[in-house]
Amino acid sequence: MKIGLVSPYDWAHPGGVANHIRNLSDQFRAMGHRTVIIAPSSKRASELNTDNLVVIGRPVPLPLGGSVARITLSFHRAPQVRALLESEEFDVLHIHEPLLPALPLWVLRYSKTLNIGTFHLYHSNARGYRAWRPVLKRWEPNIHGRIAVSRPAAEIVAKSFPGDYAIIPNGIDLAHFSADVPPFDRFNDGKINILFVGRMEKRKGLRHLLAAYSRIKWEFPDTRLIVVGPGKPDAASERVLGERDLRDVVFAGGVDYADLPRYYRSADIFCSPATGGESFGIVLLEAMAAGKPVLASDIPGYATVVQHGVQGLLVAPQNEERLAEALVQLINDPALRRRLGDRGRDHAQNYSWKRIAVQVMDFYGKCQARREEQRRARTLP
């Protein structure tokens, strides 16, 4: 089978959707299928470590859901899309965020094969979908099968585009994050290490973690907060750091993927205090795969992968007092940390990319069978 995997986002800029597509591609190829990744890029294809990549369009940064989406608005690329689809003759086109401009919409416009769409985005409202519905409804019927990475993501898009959405979650590289790697020596000094992993964006909630940490630091001086992720802290985070003279906060910046398991291994507690806008909880699963207890915000995307009191603790978003109390609970109770970590490690096994790829491939088969049945029905007298 030849499968085209379409991303609306800049392939040269790492992100969750790109990781999702890359891992699906690797698994499908291991199954014996051929895959082609189609995406815009701010770099030439020859500069990127993707041997099956076709670059169409140059991305521009646009605000989207509390983050920045690097998508292409190169509408003049339509002939290039059409020519590619005609020459490749794909059996399946799997379009991620199929209702984002411009590349996914051109693929839907010119595709004559089975079109599968995966919806990753989650917002507290559906204003974007509603605002563009008059335009998007022209192409939306061309999606023959719909996947959402979580129930919250499905509920948001279904408000504007009702239909059946199969829930097939993101996966993680279990072997990578569960590997028995050594912790970093500089963090292996007996202090309780609290780890944050995420981009320096307001919605990731770092300032709330810094404020909660400042509440407990004087009572628990042998603690350390390790912050991993690209970018610079926002003004609110800088203000907390300065006004409260916080010590033992380490900003590691963006780190290599190969080193990330060592940061998880160095942690005693993983904390992700996101304020919203998360359709899923990939970093939570990575921490669980490493056997670490999770402390996270009780938001819909996170609650789909963590049960409060089972694999971790969930607290109300932006509630710094409750976040501090949960940190104290975990610091004071090593047995609870071990129990949550062990359950999390078991739970993470459900999210291997091999298992996810099998689910997606099965979904392709069901959608193709339904499409053939509908085609036969139309030809009956």
Picking from 150, 159, 151, the residue whose alpha carbon sits closest to that of residue 127 is 159
DSSP per-residue string spanning 160-187:
HS-S--EE----B-HHHHSS-PPPPGGG
The span from the CA of 366 to the CA of 35, in Å, is 20
Q: Identify the H or E element spanning 369.
A: helix 353-379
Question: pLDDT for 326-360, tens place per residue?
Answer: 999 999 999 999 999 999 999 999 999 999 999 99
Intervals of CATH 3.40.50.2000 along the chain: 2-171+352-379, 174-351
State the CB neighbour count (10 A cutoff) for residue 264.
Answer: 24
Give the model's pLDDT for residue 124. Answer: 54
CB-CB contact of 282 with 172 (8 Å): yes
CB-CB contact of 300 with 149 (8 Å): no
CB-CB contact of 313 with 329 (8 Å): yes
Q: Is pLDDT of 123 > 90?
A: no
Question: Which bin fits 56, alpha (ψ -120 to 50), beta or left (φ > 0)?
Answer: beta
CB-CB contact of 325 with 295 (8 Å): no
Give the model's pLDDT for residue 62. Answer: 83
- Give the CATH number of domain 174-351: 3.40.50.2000
Q: Does domain 2-171+352-379 have CATH number 3.30.450.20?
A: no
Picking from 49, 61, 86, 82, the residue whose alpha carbon sits closest to that of residue 8 is 61
Give the model's pLDDT for residue 131. Answer: 65
pLDDT band at 63; cut points 50, 70, 90: confident
Q: Is beta strand 92-96 parallel, antiparallel or unpaired with respect to 34-39?
A: unpaired
pTM of the model: 0.90
CB-CB contact of 156 with 175 (8 Å): no
Question: pLDDT for 238-255, tens place per residue?
Answer: 999 988 888 999 999 999
Which residue in this structure is represented by tokens 């996101």?
A: 274
